[in-house]
Copies of this chain bind each other. A is one copy, B any other.
């Protein structure tokens, strides 16, 4: 029986309650956005006691459905002021689901300096003092917690960035090797966790029952159908397992859509040196592992293990967006330097995209030269140390631009754009502009049809059809983010109808209710509508669904294109 765990840190209570009817049969983003939408005042202070932080595994969390271990984190974002859902791999999603917890709702805030942790076992949840791990970064925090609670537990934690309430702070989730390498990066939810003085949540799934399935046989059949679709699609069966997400560096560079040196060009002369192919070769040659899942039960396994020249673990293999943000976007072409940055980001607890984008803005502002990898590493360390310079970067690209007098700031609703220039991948531009989350590639991954030829083909360089493309992807993504399945399953879903059939049939079999492809689409629409409603209450209007002016003014080489999807077109995205 799924339940809700309410932690109130003002009065230090932890209560496990039956899940209210209005939240039943919801999961992941659908559930976090429903709870935040109903329970959080859109005008509250994102770092005050009236914001809530919600964690939720997906509808299929805890089952054997492939890639179903994503966990959603939700709340009002201190970075954007909008509602926020940011999801992560790692073990926590499966563990929570197996513990019968459909959502954790963290409310209130502990007194200054009184850091807390929450421990959840099959017997319930308790709040404990966390002064022993306060002030530590994620790697040390997790190591200490594993000593205390054993290596069969999973951990959700924040590093120094979250403690300092920096707007680019992430929430870390431990992976299969008990390392804090998986992050809910976007939107500063780590700062929300820090504002509540919640340092960590320890999840001990030992002895927990299996997740109940109403029709186990039907589930098994559906699961096979879905797995088969994943195993048949070239992206999920070959591209991602072999090269990881960083397979995209060469592809985007080729397409002229790889934002270089703070979005001043769409091609980087050093792209090949930081490509997925090169990353793969380095891992292979040094005894790392390019093909590895970010959580148990993942069959795509795009998340590698990156090691140094002596074969020692450095970091999980940097993802494409991390490589881009801290590589081409900063004029840096050194893969090992990027892996060191990745490790620092994970340790301090930072969004690699937001800070990488801020770094490039700082470089444009003359803080350090483009291409200065050692300088960038030093600056990331400074974030952990809390120097003024470090704190500026840790507050994201917008603040960094304001402070250093740079007005080419690639953000929407305060959140930095990821690794796809909106002028050369215009469908992504529509997603950045209109997403309920601020600029976010995962919200409606138009790169699929714009660049990869997945789910049809829409010319990346032309404005036509981009709004419709983004709209449909945003709806499907909002639904998929509610299932707990990895977004990468969408590649199969877009090309192979049996993939979505498998998903719907698994949900149907687990909950014992009809669930059709139409229900899936309606779920996505419902989630987006709840999010838009929250944002309207926070003062967001269509005027916020726009890209910064310079994307309409400055031509992007090599195609010399500007962003020219009209405002009127952008405003059609939410007409459904």
Q: CB within 8 Å of B: which residues of A? A: 41-45, 47-48, 50, 78, 164-167, 191, 195, 387-389, 391-392, 395, 399, 402-405, 407, 537-544, 546, 548-550, 553
Contacts and interface: CB of A to CB of B under 8 A. Distances in A.
Contacts of A164: 405
Question: Which residue among A41, A48, A388, A405 has the maximum number of chain B CB atoms within 10 Å of its CB?
Answer: A405
A546 to B, nearest CB: 6
Given A389-B388, A402-B395, A405-B165, A43 B539 contact: no
Given A389-B388, A402-B167, A549 B407 contact: no
Contact of A539 (B387, B392, B540, B549): B540
B549 A405 contact: no
Given A165-B407, A191-B405, A539-B542, 15 more contacts: A43-B543, A45-B407, A48-B407, A48-B553, A78-B402, A388-B388, A388-B389, A388-B403, A391-B392, A391-B405, A395-B399, A399-B399, A399-B403, A539-B539, A539-B541
Contacts of A392: 388, 391-392, 403
A298 to B, nearest CB: 35
A401 B166 CA distance: 10
Question: Which residue among A387, A403, A544 has the maximum number of chain B CB atoms within 10 Å of its CB?
Answer: A403
A45 B553 CA distance: 11
Contacts of A389: 388
A405 B46 CA distance: 12
11 contacts: A48-B550, A48-B553, A78-B402, A165-B407, A167-B402, A191-B405, A388-B389, A392-B392, A399-B402, A539-B539, A539-B544
B548 A537 contact: no
A387 B388 CA distance: 9
Given A405-B166, A541-B539, A549 B43 contact: yes
A550 B51 CA distance: 13
A251 B539 CA distance: 36
A382 to B, nearest CB: 9
A543 B539 contact: yes
Nearest to A161: B405
Contacts of A395: 399, 402-403
Contacts of A50: 549
Nearest to A164: B405
B195 A407 contact: yes
A399 B42 CA distance: 21
A538 B544 CA distance: 8
Contact of A391 (B195, B403, B541, B542): B403
A263 to B, nearest CB: 14
B550 A43 contact: no
Nearest to A407: B47
Contacts of A387: 388
Contacts of A391: 392, 403-405
B549 A44 contact: yes
A78 B47 CA distance: 24
B45 A548 contact: yes
A541 B536 CA distance: 9
Contacts of A191: 405
Contacts of A48: 407, 549-550, 553
A312 to B, nearest CB: 34
A549 B50 CA distance: 9
A251 B167 CA distance: 39
A548 B47 CA distance: 12
